[in-house]
Amino acid sequence: MTDAAATQLKQRLVAFWNTQEHYWDGISDEVAANSPNRGRAASFIPEDSRILDVACGSAANAQWLKPRGAYFGSDISQSGLRRAQQPELRLACGDAEALPFADASFDAAISTFALEHAVRPVQMLQEMCRVVRPGGRVVLLGPSWDLPFWYPNALQSKVAKPGWRRSYTWKRVLGQLGGWLFGRLPFLIIEEPDALSLPFVYDADAVYVVWSYEVIRQMRRWGLRLVHGEVDDRMLGFSAPVRLLKRLLYLLPPYRFAGSTVLLVFER
């Protein structure tokens, strides 16, 4: 994707987030549904930390993060930030791909259910690493679509097209093989997510098809260490052959963290 196309896609997404008040109503339900995961993610941040919540939306994480130190949040959407009700929160409107903070100015950076919305996920990860001090933590929580036949709701409208699923899966397999064997990480981006033209369903505004393996590998390239990783639901399904296939795939390094919601904790 060219820089111009990425900028245009981001502008369209920001306009979407800023005009869809019901999106933010829906986030409250998601927050409730994901509370145990959020609490668990916060538990990996040492106490008395200066914490940046990147792409914080309505600052839902503040309730779990405030007990761990000083909370700062930033998000690209004014609508999201307006929903953050607590006056003591320090919030800034800013792009996660160019954070308005100095190098090494936080003990920890966390991002929940947001990396999949970054048009340039590598830049977002790089920025999170930049603002964290050496020895500090970067915590990521959110969905991933690691198995090659998994895809976000942002692509749902394409599924009915003849052959789409097969060609998506092959493209994904080839991209993942290139990433695993030769280190050419695909960071697959959806250029036309369904949310921009169809009624909204959860993650129809995702643009990065998260693959946990490539996130870990990219972070390692920058010298970060994975100190913890876990998945909440391995999504095995009910069919015996599919369960067996998935169990075998999960033995391979590229699919070690395949599942519904993945939590990755890195140390810089």
- Name the CA radius of gyration of the chain, rounded: 18
For ligand SAM, which residue of 37, 49, 112, 261 counts as binding (CB under 6 A)? Answer: 112
The one-letter amino acid at 106? F
Q: What is the closest distance, in whole angstroms, from the C-beta atom of residue 8 to ligand SAM in the complex?
A: 14
Phi, psi of 29 (to 5 degrees): -65, -40
31: contact with ligand SAM by CB under 6 A: yes
196: contact with ligand SAM by CB under 6 A: no
Q: What is the closest distance, in whole angstroms, from the C-beta atom of residue 221 to ligand SAM in the complex?
A: 21
Q: How is residue 196 written in tokens?
A: 């921009």
55: contact with ligand SAM by CB under 6 A: yes
Give residues with Cβ within 8 angstroms of 199, minimum separation 6: none
| CA 121 to mean position of chain CA atoms | 8
Which residues, listed in sequence order, are joined to residue 92 by a DSSP beta bridge?
74
Window of 113-121, 167-175, 216-224, 249-257 that interacts with ligand SAM by CB under 6 A? 113-121
For ligand SAM, which residue of 37, 49, 77, 218 counts as binding (CB under 6 A)? Answer: 77
96: contact with ligand SAM by CB under 6 A: yes
For ligand SAM, which residue of 118, 139, 258, 264 counts as binding (CB under 6 A)? Answer: 118
E strand or H helix that includes residue 231: strand 225-231
76: contact with ligand SAM by CB under 6 A: yes
Question: Is 65 buried (19+), middle (13-18) or exposed (0-12) by CB count in 10 A?
Answer: buried
Which residues, listed in sequence order, are joined to residue 142 by a DSSP beta bridge?
262
* Residues at the contact surface with ligand SAM, assessed by CB under 6 A: 17, 27, 31, 55-57, 60-61, 75-77, 80, 95-97, 112-114, 117-118
